[in-house]
Structure 1
Amino acid sequence: MRFHNKTVVVTGAASGIGRATAILFAAEGAKVYAADIDEAGLAATAAESNGEVHTVRCDVTVCEDIKALMDRAAAETGGIDAVFNNAGAGGDMAKIDEIEPEGWDRTMHLLLRSVAFGIRYAVPHMIGRAGAAIVNTSSVAAVGPGYSPNAYAVAKAGVLHLTKTSAADLARHQIRVNAVQPGFINTNIFTTSLDVPPELEAQAKGAIAMMSQAAQPVARGGQPRDIAEAVLYLCSEAASFVNGTSIIVDGGLTIGPRHSWDPEVPDLFEALRQMKAAAEAAG
């Protein structure tokens, strides 16, 4: 087992990517501290796991909660080996010319400040731990517009830069810091952000899965396990030479315009080719 007897903290572990990652870490032998504000969801995560999962209620917008989480994990096990700063939601949906300061700040606190202080309060318990690693959840939205609301995209771009600067800061402690950038993953982040009623959630997730598999070269919907596998790799010995960077896990969504990979879509020069062929045929 890659993480036998290692202590791992996962935030946002009540559902989706966080749940899948906590369960996979536990299956690989880790002592997992699964944190979220959704206590019922945390209980379901622990019940689904066949390993050691300790559930902790934690609101990552409250720095005192983050510190208490890290302190508890370290106090009960002797230290922390890996942290997955993952908790989040869609944030404020407003465009830049409509968003209010409260919505902007709420989004930044949830998606960016929480990661900064997840690192801040974990590091004292990680110094001296061989192979210590931190992974932060960014997004394909950090690549450019069109994948999310404005505030979310800015926060996730901030997570990428925070990851790089933190890797530099923590090099003296031999703590690696990397990020993962999910594409369209079939979790409840979309249905929650759009306030989809519970009775329509399964139907909405099905529609999202159908849409996503048609939007990228890999013709299937992304699943939480896809991201979990990348996170465990980044925290493992196999990634010991990987630091200050990110892995995009998006089924090829961001590789280029659709015509670059879909043979059914004409490329930019197809119209010119057809024009030339028509002229030659007429001549």
Structure 2
Amino acid sequence: MTNLDGKVAVVTGAASGIGAATARTFAARGARVIVADIDDARGEAVAADLGDHSAYLHTDVRKESDVADAVASAVDRFGRLDCMVNNAGRVGTWTFLEDTSLEEWEDGFAVLARSAFLGTKHAARVMRDQGSGSIVNVSSVAGVRTGFGPHPYSAAKAAVLQLTRTAAVELAEFHIRVNALIPGGVATRIVGHGAGLEDEALDRSVDAVRRSLGKFQPIPRAGEPEDLAHAAAYLASDDSTFVTGQTLGVDGGLALGKKWPSNYRDEARAASSRTAAH
């Protein structure tokens, strides 16, 4: 198990889904964690579960002052910052380009891309003085392939990947590593949000999403938040001190393309036999 003893982390979007799993995984492996989110009830519950080595902070990742406060809170409470996980996000509404409003486009970029920029910017300021640190940006398979998210979501997630690379080059001399995770189909409430479900239906939707996602990914199961949390823990740990500027796909092979139908081989063999007979 990856050891995070003595590490201090800020995880945005940590009230549920991948963020909550990351906060719990980090704490279980010895880290102290600032749980940053706008969902106060869920965020406070996650922090309470983690005990004295965690604290919740209301953080709107669209606002620079809130992100700066989250970083400052880690330093004030725990003395340092070793890992910044820029995870907060939303899917948004699926619309044709001509029906996508400027407000939807700009808010998508604010939540997804601006937040990663702000988290990287303010974490780097602290980590530069320390001479070490790890920044983990959560992107998406929608950032590298088409058809997996609305236009604003997909474009913003692609921007996160390029920011990861440019920041990695600039910050490497200070021993600050910047990497990205690419989730595929993960069973979380955010998928239900993207489908337009109301809050009371979101928890019930997760099981339905889990059953559905397993049907089209090459590894025939849905991704779980813990799959991403384990990868984030590796990137936060000293096991990855020579890894920077990379995109780590944790997607069950989804970005590779569609899997073959189960009857493909039988049909191909039958066709081959018919051809040989002629």
TM range (shorter): over 0.9
Structure 1 residues 78 and 50: CA distance shift in structure 2, 3 A? closer
> Which one-letter code corresponds to 2:143 in the other structure?
A
When the two structures are aligned, how many residues end up with a matched partner? 277
Query: Is the CA contact (8 Å cut-off) linking 2:217 and 2:258 kept in structure 1?
Result: no
Out of 104-113 and 248-257, give the one that drifted further.
Answer: 248-257
Q: Who is 1:228 aligned against?
A: 229
* 2:256 match: secondary structure: coil
Q: Distance in 1 between matches of 2:135 and 2:85?
A: 6
Q: Deviations over 1:240-264 (max 9, x none)?
A: 11100111001111223322xx542
Q: Distance in 2 between matches of 1:90 and 1:104?
A: 11
CA displacement at 1:176 relative to structure 2: 0.3
Q: Which has the higher helix share?
A: 2
Structure 2 unaligned regions, length at least 5: none
Q: Who is 2:212 aligned against?
A: 211
* 2:243 match: secondary structure: coil
The answer to whether the aligner puts 1:156 opposite 2:157 as a matched pair is: yes
Q: TM-score, normalised by structure 1?
A: 0.91
Q: Who is 2:111 aligned against?
A: 110
Q: Distance in 2 between matches of 1:241 and 1:3?
A: 17
Q: Deviations over 1:49-102 (max 9, x none)?
A: 356111000000111111111122212322211110001111343222221111
Query: Is the CA contact (8 Å cut-off) linking 1:216 and 1:251 kept in structure 2?
Result: yes
Q: Who is 2:9 aligned against?
A: 8
CA displacement at 1:128 relative to structure 2: 4.1
Q: Who is 2:146 aligned against?
A: 145
Query: Is the CA contact (8 Å cut-off) linking 2:132 and 2:174 kept in structure 1?
Result: no
Q: Identical aligned pairs, as a percentage?
A: 37
* 1:184 match: secondary structure: coil
Structure 1 residues 44 and 207: CA distance shift in structure 2, 3 A? same
Q: Who is 1:24 aligned against?
A: 25
* 2:255 match: secondary structure: coil
Q: Who is 1:264 aligned against?
A: 263
CA displacement at 1:129 relative to structure 2: 3.0
Q: Distance in 2 between matches of 1:24 and 1:62?
A: 27
Q: Distance in 1 between matches of 2:179 and 2:276?
A: 55
Q: TM-score, normalised by structure 2?
A: 0.92
* 1:214 match: secondary structure: coil
Q: Distance in 2 between matches of 1:75 and 1:166?
A: 25
Q: Distance in 2 between matches of 1:213 and 1:80?
A: 37
Structure 1 residues 3 and 95: CA distance shift in structure 2, 3 A? same
Query: Is the CA contact (8 Å cut-off) linking 1:27 and 1:51 kept in structure 2?
Result: no
Query: Is the CA contact (8 Å cut-off) linking 1:258 and 1:265 kept in structure 2?
Result: no
Q: Distance in 1 between matches of 2:264 and 2:45?
A: 44
CA displacement at 1:235 relative to structure 2: 1.1
Query: Is the CA contact (8 Å cut-off) linking 1:191 and 1:201 kept in structure 2?
Result: yes
Structure 1 residues 232 and 127: CA distance shift in structure 2, 3 A? same
CA displacement at 1:29 relative to structure 2: 1.4
Q: Distance in 1 between matches of 2:56 and 2:126?
A: 19
Q: Distance in 2 between matches of 1:34 and 1:192?
A: 21
Query: Is the CA contact (8 Å cut-off) linking 2:189 and 2:205 kept in structure 1?
Result: no
Q: Which has the larger radius of gyration?
A: 1
Q: Who is 1:98 aligned against?
A: 99
> Which one-letter code corresponds to 1:221 in the other structure?
A
Query: Is the CA contact (8 Å cut-off) linking 2:182 and 2:249 kept in structure 1?
Result: yes
* 2:214 match: secondary structure: helix
Out of 194-203 and 249-258, give the one that drifted further.
Answer: 194-203
CA displacement at 1:156 relative to structure 2: 0.5
> Which one-letter code corresponds to 2:161 in the other structure?
L
